[in-house]
Amino acid sequence: MRVQSSIIWEYKESLLACKNHSRGYHGAFRISENDIKRSFKLNKSVTCKVPEGTLVVANVFGFHRRGDVSLRGSEVSRSSLWFQARSYPFSPFPLRALSGVRTYIAQSYRKREYKQKLSKHKGDL
């Protein structure tokens, strides 16, 4: 049930993002704790407290956020290294299957372009 709720919520958010570009999300939706409780009936979050200077590696599938920082000094610095490996969730075709098709189409296009250029220059010789 939570997965279905999540898909519905993400779909609604995507429609809002298309209509209102000024929300400033840049591809990442934001949700409040109250919305999580109301929409997904989740009452408990998991907190991961780590010492300063700790490298945290996590699969952050689902809702996640950076936690609050306890300030010792006047400055707090966070660095992150991330990558994205997800496909469009509403696509009827798996992304990996299409990558071969895309490569084939690109190669065919390049071959056709090359042949056209070659035939144009044959008259110059």
Report mean pLDDT in 10-residue bins for the chain, 125 residues.
Answer: 72 78 63 77 76 78 68 65 65 62 77 81 62
Domain boundaries, given as residue ranges, for the chain: 1-47, 94-125
Q: Which helix (H) or strand (E) holds 118?
A: helix 95-122
Q: At 63, list the tokens.
A: 């809702």
Q: At 113, list the tokens.
A: 């372009």
Per-residue pLDDT at 86 = 63
Per-residue pLDDT at 117 = 79
pTM of this prediction?
0.41
